[in-house]
Chains A and B, each alone.
Chain A
Amino acid sequence: MEFSLKNEQQQLLSKMATNDGHGENSPYFDGWKAYDSDPYHPTRNPNGVIQMGLAENQLCFDLIEEWVLNNPEASICTAEGANKFMEVAIYQDYHGLPEFRNAVAGFMEKVRGERVKFDPNRIVMSGGATGAHETLAFCLADPEDAFLVPTPYYPGFDRDLRWRTGIQLLPIVCHSSNDFKVTKESMEAAYQKAQEANIRVKGFLLNNPSNPLGTVLDRETLIDIVTFINDKNIHLICDEIYSATVFSQPEFISISEIIEHDVQCNRDLVHLVYSLSKDLGFPGFRVGILYSYNDAVVSCARKMSSFGLVSTQTQHLIASMLSDETFTDKIISTSSERLAARHGLFTRGLAQVGIGTLKSSAGLYFWMDLRRLLRESTFEAEMELWRIIIHEVKLNVSPGLSFHCSEPGWFRVCFANMDDESVRVALRRIHKFVLVQGKATEPTTPKSRCGSSKLQLSLSFRRLDERVMGSHMMSPHSPMASPLVRAT
């Protein structure tokens, strides 16, 4: 009955409506589902799943709320702002409020240290960065055409770039052996592979700072990429959504700087995607920005923006907020400090139990190396480990497989979407888990007092728990027998 009903639906609706192109059957979302059904809360559900799979920036809301309180005219609903209500509410021009575009352009310049200028007339609105990516795919490529994209990459790209557009994403495989850097060889290899398969490559999709790596691209690599796309005459889409989440060295270099200062290039090939969802923590406001150096793309994308304009109520608020330079200076620097502190807390905490992370200077997450905890170097083993982390350790982290990573054992862990107490709880859980696993997987250590060198992931957590609690042995690599580990 159910089967025939489903079949019927599939004929009634389009293929697009009934296929998996939305990408939600990916493991990336399984963790979310586990979290949704058992969300952590310090008092109501202290044993729930902690959400570490959502790249949100919650660290600076105190500053933002203070600004909103002190600037009532930025809201068209307050006594101070209501005189603008009608004007704002009827404005549906897809160019967007001029003050909004000016403010966004100015903010983008500030984030790049005023090293480049952005023309407000090239700013096009979109339904979040999600909408911007899809719009660019519609503008630059026909169905079956492909974009090259370095792995690992944000899982949402599979949906945003491909689902309704019919284009393909082909990986430029990157490896941990050189910290997942994009190399000339890997770009060339990916391009050749496409040629051999008779697939027309129309563009190169770059995410800088990288999600999930948290790294920023160095000048040399950026120049190599621009040279590559220029030679091949293909488009470059650079998603700089995390540009203001840089918290340490090396600094962020925008593609806009490269094309303005470092290398000659056909600018009609270069397009930027931006949003306020990560830098400012406003995913709910759906402020997506598409910036292109190509006039025809600006014109086409602007017409397409009708399908995802930014609410003028929000444009008005953002225009006001981002044109307050005292505020924007403060938030950029404070956010950076707090991200650095949070990142440091986690990475040092992990290092204490011998867990490495990829060295990074940006993003709302880090790329965690759990390769040594895998039973074997396979993605099946990664999935097994991941399920344990979700269901037993109760942390929703994102497995590398869902980011198309070529090597098993890497996980993206978000750290900016929680309060300090949750951070402590999360670290305690990780410590506990790793100590339990870590004991069993140090066959190379002469001082190891483990019985078995094989990690028995099939053991139930409860039994492992008893062993840990009852045992007086601690891993030789643990700096101390932390009372916190036992307390959880």
Chain B
Amino acid sequence: MEMLSKKATCKSHGQDSSYFLGWQEYEKNPFNEDRNPLGIIQMGLAENQLSFDLLESWLARNPDATMFGSNGGSIFKELALFQDYHGLQTFKTELVEFMAEIRRNKVRFDPQKLVLTAGATSANETLMFCLAEPGEAFLIPTPYYPGFDRDLKWRTGVKIVPIHCSSLNGFRITKAALDEAYDEALKLNLRVKGVFITNPSNPLGTTMNQDEFNHVISFAVSKNIHIVSDEIYAGTVFDSSKFTSIIEAIMDRNLEKTDIWSRIHVVSSLSKDLGLPGFRIGMIYSNNETLIAAATKMSSFGLVSSQTQYLLSKLLGDKKFTRHYIQENQRRLKKRQQVLVSGLQSYGIPCLKSNAGLFCWVDMRNLLSSNAFEAEMELWKKILYEVGLNISPGSSCHCTEPGWFRVCFANMSQETLNLSIHRLQAFVTSNGDGNYQNQKLSTRISRRNSLVVS
């Protein structure tokens, strides 16, 4: 008899992907300015380390967050005992206000419709458990975050059917692509339960535009399926006016009083906006009461530590701070992104034009030895082992075209970023001859002009 479960022995945890293998190589030989200056620079981790000084100075000004009030009274015991899966009310209230602030207050959220979870990882899995039976499917635009293979499919048994997006139109979702994905699911005998979008997109760094919203919403309405919108990067949009939440998009189309309203579910987290991935603060937001009731009960398997809920309720309750933080954080991210983009552009490596995220979607097709995923893997390994940069190959994000890489820029110092650009520059220069793409370079660049940052 097989001693462990099928889940334990299959590969659905997705950890054999190059996305994770690169991390492992980095762990073996991590760059450190002083101790290991020739080590691998981690550019595969979408973390936001740019604004910790703001958080730290808030902490220094606000000793109350230590769980002992200024008058010496302790709420330690209360917090230690608090295990109500409805969550700390003050925290949820502040959290929804913070979420609204990020969305320019175009959307107001009701804390009663919010479920707290141990990170967005848990939120996404919980949603799948609640919305689909094992063997049913969700459609997801490619390229997508590699972690979804584990989070959405592994223990739930739900399938992912890709909505193929192409560089020809900047990887935007089209009606044709949606229909094609749906048909593919039918061919595979899979019942489609919903569309799963990430907005802003990981790995693209782009926000969804009106056309895309029109396509996705009309599609979900006509097929009577769910829309899950992972908005974890909402706070990383460089310019707030450019981000539209799915909820706002539905309201703009006057669909609040229709069926689709109860089939819209938003996921978010404080891991990217505030740069606090260690604290495991995720959330599900939905107008579907039955879903909220079920998801709340399921959150028992991954609640947010009450100690952490309390700290964040204080932090987010300081509105002056949050307003300043949101703006300043966005400004720094934009600046950092520009450094990477212009640095790469200066020696002929374009990036997809993006306005959000902690990464760029970099076009290295002209560095491939052939237009194939094997060539992409070859290039990735060279960049990992010879150049000493862990970047994420597009294939690990299920991109249909070889040659694209996700490169993170917000998880390191300015100096380290400069160094990584310099290393890549040296690599490109030394590999300039004998590339397959060289001949076609001029044609490709002109076609791509509309897609890249000038």
Taking a contact as CB atoms closer than 8 A, the residue among B67, B151, B155 that contacts A75 in the complex is: B67
Does B8 lie within 8 Å of A307, measured CB to CB?
Answer: no
The chain B residues found within 8 Å of chain A, CB to CB, are 1, 3-9, 13, 15, 47, 49, 52, 55-56, 59-60, 63, 65-68, 74, 76-77, 79-83, 118-119, 121-122, 125, 129-133, 150-151, 155, 226, 262-263, 271, 275-280, 288, 290-291, 294-295, 297-298, 300-308, 311
Is A450 at the interface (CB under 8 A from chain B)?
Answer: no
Does A303 lie within 8 Å of B150, measured CB to CB?
Answer: yes
The chain A residues found within 8 Å of chain B, CB to CB, are 9, 12-18, 22, 24, 56, 58, 61, 64-65, 68-69, 72, 75-79, 82, 85-86, 88-92, 127-128, 130-131, 134, 138-142, 145, 159-160, 164, 200, 233, 235, 268-269, 277, 281-286, 296-297, 300, 303-304, 306-314, 317
Question: A90 — which chain B residues lie within 8 A by C-beta?
Answer: 47, 49, 275-278
Does B80 lie within 8 Å of A281, measured CB to CB?
Answer: yes
The residue in chain A whose Cβ has the minimal distance to the Cβ of B311 is A77
Taking each of B49, B278, B298, B305, which has the highest tally of chain A beta carbons within 10 Å of its own beta carbon?
B278
Instruction: Known contacts A138-B5, A307-B125; decide if A78 and B47 are in contact (CB<8 Å).
Output: no
Instruction: Known contacts A139-B5, A307-B301; decide if A283 and B83 are in contact (CB<8 Å).
Output: yes
Taking a contact as CB atoms closer than 8 A, the residue among A78, A281, A285 that contacts B305 in the complex is: A285
Chain A's nearest CB lies how many Å from the CB of B275? 7
Question: A141 — which chain B residues lie within 8 A by C-beta?
Answer: 5
Does B5 lie within 8 Å of A15, measured CB to CB?
Answer: no
Does A14 lie within 8 Å of B118, measured CB to CB?
Answer: no
A141 to B4, CA, bound (A): 6
The residue in chain A whose Cβ has the minimal distance to the Cβ of B158 is A14
Chain A's nearest CB lies how many Å from the CB of B72? 9
Does B1 lie within 8 Å of A233, measured CB to CB?
Answer: yes
The 4 A-B pairs with the shortest beta carbon distances in the complex, nearest first, are A312-B278, A284-B306, A308-B302, A311-B305
Does B262 lie within 8 Å of A82, measured CB to CB?
Answer: no
Q: A88-B278, A285-B80, A306-B119 are in contact. List 12 more A-B contacts (CB 8 A).
A: A13-B130, A77-B67, A90-B47, A90-B278, A140-B3, A142-B5, A159-B300, A282-B80, A312-B278, A312-B279, A313-B307, A314-B305
Taking a contact as CB atoms closer than 8 A, the residue among B15, B278, B295, B308 that contacts A91 in the complex is: B278
Chain A's nearest CB lies how many Å from the CB of B369? 34
Chain B's nearest CB lies how many Å from the CB of A102? 18
Instruction: Known contacts A14-B131, A68-B67; decide if A9 and B122 are in contact (CB<8 Å).
Output: no
Does A307 lie within 8 Å of B118, measured CB to CB?
Answer: yes
Instruction: Known contacts A75-B66, A89-B276; decide if A16 and B5 are in contact (CB<8 Å).
Output: no
Question: B306 — which chain A residues lie within 8 A by C-beta?
Answer: 284-286
A14 to B137, CA, bound (A): 12
A238 to B60, CA, bound (A): 44
Instruction: Known contacts A283-B83, A284-B81, A313-B308; decide if A14 and B130 are in contact (CB<8 Å).
Output: yes
Does B304 lie within 8 Å of A311, measured CB to CB?
Answer: yes
Chain B's nearest CB lies how many Å from the CB of A400? 24
A283 to B226, CA, bound (A): 35
Taking each of B60, B151, B301, which has the highest tally of chain A beta carbons within 10 Å of its own beta carbon?
B301
Question: A142 — which chain B residues lie within 8 A by C-beta?
Answer: 5-7
Does B307 lie within 8 Å of A82, measured CB to CB?
Answer: no
Does A78 lie within 8 Å of B63, measured CB to CB?
Answer: yes
Does A17 lie within 8 Å of B301, measured CB to CB?
Answer: no
A452 to B7, CA, bound (A): 62
Does B307 lie within 8 Å of A314, measured CB to CB?
Answer: yes
Does B47 lie within 8 Å of A127, measured CB to CB?
Answer: no
A75 to B79, CA, bound (A): 14
Does A284 lie within 8 Å of B56, measured CB to CB?
Answer: no
Does B291 lie within 8 Å of A304, measured CB to CB?
Answer: no
Question: A307 — which chain B residues lie within 8 A by C-beta?
Answer: 118, 121-122, 125, 151, 155, 301-302
Chain A's nearest CB lies how many Å from the CB of B279? 5
Does B121 lie within 8 Å of A12, measured CB to CB?
Answer: no
Does B59 lie within 8 Å of A17, measured CB to CB?
Answer: no
A159 to B297, CA, bound (A): 10
The residue in chain A whose Cβ has the minimal distance to the Cβ of B78 is A284
Does B76 lie within 8 Å of A13, measured CB to CB?
Answer: no
A127 to B83, CA, bound (A): 11
A304 to B5, CA, bound (A): 13
Instruction: Known contacts A127-B118, A142-B6, A281-B81; decide if A82 and B130 are in contact (CB<8 Å).
Output: no
A75 to B305, CA, bound (A): 14
Does A140 lie within 8 Å of B302, measured CB to CB?
Answer: no
The residue in chain B whose Cβ has the minimal distance to the Cβ of A134 is B301
Instruction: Known contacts A92-B271, A268-B3, A284-B307; decide if A13 and B13 are in contact (CB<8 Å).
Output: no
Does A22 lie within 8 Å of B4, measured CB to CB?
Answer: no
Question: A303 — which chain B residues lie within 8 A by C-beta?
Answer: 13, 15, 150
23 CB contacts below 8 A, A to B, read A9-B290, A17-B131, A69-B68, A77-B65, A77-B66, A78-B63, A128-B303, A138-B7, A139-B7, A142-B7, A164-B155, A233-B1, A277-B83, A283-B80, A284-B82, A304-B13, A304-B155, A306-B150, A307-B121, A308-B301, A311-B304, A311-B307, A312-B278
Question: B13 — which chain A residues lie within 8 A by C-beta?
Answer: 300, 303-304
Question: B301 — which chain A residues lie within 8 A by C-beta?
Answer: 127, 130-131, 134, 160, 164, 307-308
Does A79 lie within 8 Å of B63, measured CB to CB?
Answer: yes
Chain A's nearest CB lies how many Å from the CB of B171? 27
Question: B68 — which chain A residues lie within 8 A by C-beta?
Answer: 68-69
Question: A9 — which chain B residues lie within 8 A by C-beta?
Answer: 288, 290
A200 to B118, CA, bound (A): 33
Does B81 lie within 8 Å of A56, measured CB to CB?
Answer: yes
Instruction: Known contacts A13-B290, A200-B1; decide if A138 and B278 are in contact (CB<8 Å).
Output: no
Does A138 lie within 8 Å of B155, measured CB to CB?
Answer: yes
The residue in chain B whose Cβ has the minimal distance to the Cβ of A137 is B5
Question: A314 — which chain B residues lie within 8 A by C-beta?
Answer: 305, 307-308
Chain B's nearest CB lies how many Å from the CB of A402? 17
A233 to B2, CA, bound (A): 11
Chain B's nearest CB lies how many Å from the CB of A145? 8
Question: B59 — which chain A residues lie within 8 A by C-beta?
Answer: 76-77, 82, 85
A304 to B151, CA, bound (A): 9
Chain B's nearest CB lies how many Å from the CB of A4? 13
A475 to B118, CA, bound (A): 55
Question: B9 — which chain A residues lie within 8 A by C-beta?
Answer: 296
A161 to B219, CA, bound (A): 38
Instruction: Known contacts A56-B81, A79-B63; decide if A311 and B308 are in contact (CB<8 Å).
Output: yes
The residue in chain B whose Cβ has the minimal distance to the Cβ of A92 is B277
The residue in chain B whose Cβ has the minimal distance to the Cβ of A306 is B121
A141 to B6, CA, bound (A): 8
A317 to B74, CA, bound (A): 16
A61 to B75, CA, bound (A): 11
Chain A's nearest CB lies how many Å from the CB of B79? 5
Question: A88 — which chain B residues lie within 8 A by C-beta?
Answer: 278
A293 to B1, CA, bound (A): 19
Chain A's nearest CB lies how many Å from the CB of B130? 4
Does A18 lie within 8 Å of B290, measured CB to CB?
Answer: yes
A9 to B262, CA, bound (A): 9
Taking a contact as CB atoms closer than 8 A, the residue among A65, A85, A308, A309 that contacts B56 in the complex is: A85
Does B4 lie within 8 Å of A297, measured CB to CB?
Answer: yes
Does B288 lie within 8 Å of A61, measured CB to CB?
Answer: no
